[in-house]
Structure 1
Amino acid sequence: MLNRITFGRPILRHALANYRLLNTSRAVKNPSVGMTAASQNSTLVSHPVSSYSSAATESASPAPKKWARHVISSKPQAELNNTEKQTSAEKPKRRKRRTLKPLKAPITLTPNAKAHLRALSTGPNPKLIRISVRNRGCSGLTYHLEYVDKPEKFDEIVEQDGLKVVIDSKALFSIIGSEMDWVDNKLSSKFVFKNPNSKGTCGCGESFMV
């Protein structure tokens, strides 16, 4: 038995050397075999490195951002806008004051006309003088005066120094701003008018046009 064992050891050593030589020759002929073995070894070593790198990246990642503060209103925005519009509409708007211009008097009386009208009003039967305009004469319009007890519905009453004169509403456009005078001479005694609206008169002065 001892001889067999001692005889067999060199054989085993020789077989092991041949096996190693065979493996090295395979690795030279086929490099993928060696690469697979090397890759297996590298994977065994790379796992802890990757885990360490991932841990490092996790530790190096920036801190989460803080949430910004937002004020949340209790009412919706549309309702707030409506309330603002209502409050703005409720505010009274200031209107510009208009400068009041004095109204133009329909007719003015001269001192002579006042004196004659006062004499008529103090008589036994006081009456009012009504002034109107009629389509007549060369130029188209003439003054018409008459005595009346009271003015009509749409007549205009002009009062000056306590004296009243009635004017027909249809004649206001033609005689507004006129001056009424009393003329007493050898030829006639009558009321005459200085009308700024007159564009021309006839030769006798009885009619005018506007």
Structure 2
Amino acid sequence: MTMSLRNKLTVGKRFLQTAERSTPSMTPFMLNNPNAYHSSKSDNQAENKSSSSQPQGFTWARHQLPRFDAASKSSKIETPKPFAFKFPNTQDKSSRPATTPFAFRPAAKTSATAAAPTKAAAPAEKAAAPAPAPKRTRKLRPRKAVITLSPTAVKHLKDLLDQPEPKLIRIGVRNRGCSGLTYHIDYVDKPAKFDEEVVQDGVRVLIDSKALFSIIGSEMDWLDDKLSSRFIFRNPNSKGECGCGESFMV
């Protein structure tokens, strides 16, 4: 059996058939205003009589929009009152004074007034805080000289420095001799960058920075014997000397 084109198009489709109620529906406006309901009911009855051509059993319901009468037009819409409240009635009305509504104020002023006491209390706290203890200053003590000079050595050094052209005497060590190190004395025009300066009894002597750890704490003296006259050093850092006494080791 062949299916018609119309049946093919309607396969799988569903149709919803509705019918109007015979009684008029009640809207919230009609419930509040019974006159509007009776007027709409009379209008519906008049329409039912005029539409006699419609099939029996079906009636159409018509809903009318709410109408505002003259009284509602003349009435003014009240504006909302500003936010205000009153304190609770804890006392008798006859004994307590009339209260005024309390208006809301921003919290900025309150915070400013609350911050004022803290600012005023800050100087008081600083005044109450104990004063810091004074720093202890380190006392400068005279440093012990690198070497000491004997009176005879001072005399001979003054004779060596008494020249037309002023010179400085510099004491150092060199790698020479049987034991490895020998003392060396020469004239210089100006001290080097890291030289140590020793001043005793008006005599100025320079110590070479490279020889500082080898002769520190020594005593410089002048020796006259049958063989020669020379400067000698009594060095506590010396661990031994050669037989001739010209070199030493540390």
TM-score, structure 2 as length reference? 0.45
**Aligned partner letter, 1:133:** V
Q: Could you say which residue in structure 1 is the equivalent of 2:191?
A: 151
Judged with a 3 Å threshold, the aligned counterparts in structure 2 of structure 1 residues 90 and 201 are, in CA distance, closer, same or farther, namely farther
Matched, 1:118 2:128: no
Verify: 1:163 aligned to 2:167, yes or no.
Answer: no
Match of 2:168 in 1: 128
Task: Give the AA of the match of 2:157.
Answer: L
1:178 counterpart residue number: 218
Per-residue Cα deviation, 1:119-148 (whole angstroms, up to 9, x for no partner)? 122233442211111122222211111112
Superposition deviation, residue 99 in structure 1: 6.8
- After superposition, what is the alpha-carbon deviation per residue over 1:92-112, rounded to whole angstroms, capped at 9, x for unaligned? 356667676542211111111
Unaligned 5+ segments in structure 1 are 1-73, 76-85
Residues 99 and 119 of structure 1: CA distance in aligned 2, closer, same or farther (over 3 Å): same
Q: CA deviation at 1:162?
A: 1.0
| Residue pair 1:120, 1:126 contacting (<8 A) in 2 also | no
Kept after mapping to 2: 8 A contact 1:155/1:167: yes
**Residue 244 of structure 2 aligns to which amino acid in structure 1?**
C
Give the secondary structure class of the aligned counterpart of 2:160: helix
Gap change, CA 1:94 and 1:163, over 3 Å in 2:
same
* Alpha-carbon offset, residue 195 of structure 1: 0.7
Specify the code of the residue in structure 1 equivalent to 2:209: S
Q: Secondary structure at the match of 1:170?
A: helix
More helix by share: 1
Q: Provide the secondary structure at the position in 1 that maps to 2:226.
A: coil
Instruction: Say if 1:140 and 1:90 are closer, same or farther in 2 by CA, change over 3 A.
Output: farther
Instruction: Spell out, residue by residue over 1:35-77, the C-alpha distance to the aligned partner (whole angstroms, 9 max, x if none).
Output: xxxxxxxxxxxxxxxxxxxxxxxxxxxxxxxxxxxxxxx99xx
Q: Which has the higher contact order (CA 8 A, sep 6+)?
A: 1
Cα distance in 1 for partners of 2:205, 2:213 equals 16
Distance 2:240 2:132 in 1: 52
Number of equivalenced pairs = 137
- The answer for unaligned runs of 5 or more in structure 2 is 1-113, 116-125
- AA partner of residue 248 (structure 2): F
Task: Supply the distance in 2 between the matched residues of 1:156 and 1:196 (Cα, whole angstroms).
Answer: 19
Q: Identify which of 196, 202, 207 aligns with 2:242.
A: 202
2:232 paired with 1:192: yes
Q: Report the more deviating stretch, 166-175 or 130-139.
A: 130-139
TM-score (norm 1): 0.53
1:106 to 2:136 alignment: no
Aligned Cα root-mean-square deviation (Å): 3.4
CA distance in 1: counterparts of 2:164 and 2:136, whole angstroms: 54
Task: Specify whether residues 110 and 96 from structure 1 end up closer, same or farther in structure 2 by C-alpha distance, changes over 3 A only.
Answer: same
Q: For 1:172, give the aligned amino acid.
A: L
